[in-house]
Amino acid sequence: MTYNVQIKVMPLKDLLDPQGKAVLGGLNNLGLGAVADVRVGKHITLQINAASEAEAREIAEEASKKLLANPVMEFYEIEMIQ
């Protein structure tokens, strides 16, 4: 069966996020001063062929660890899409 999995990869909370700061500056220049903070990360959707939801989640976990997220700078969250 094919499972859809979404993975959110974000910069660690304690680290500076230069891309987010740039977007924040851009939004404030556009008159959106109500925006106080921005952080930018990656959103990745995977289609995984697996026998069960648990197996699909395990594969997504392995993909995140091996390729998608850099644990020194980023954390990730995996969510199964129904």
- Chain residues in the site for a copy of itself (CB under 8 A): 2, 8-10, 20, 23, 26-27, 30, 32, 34-50, 56, 59, 62-63, 66-68
**What b/e readout covers 31-46, taking b as 16+ CB neighbours within 10 angstroms?**
eeeeeeebeebeebeb
Would you say 23 or 80 has its CB closer to a copy of itself?
23
Q: What is the maximum alpha-carbon separation in the chain?
A: 50
CA–CA distance, 36 with 41 (Å, rounded to integer): 17
Query: CB of residue 9 vs a copy of itself: minimum separation in angstroms?
Result: 7
**Closest distance between a copy of itself and the C-beta of residue 72, in Å?**
19
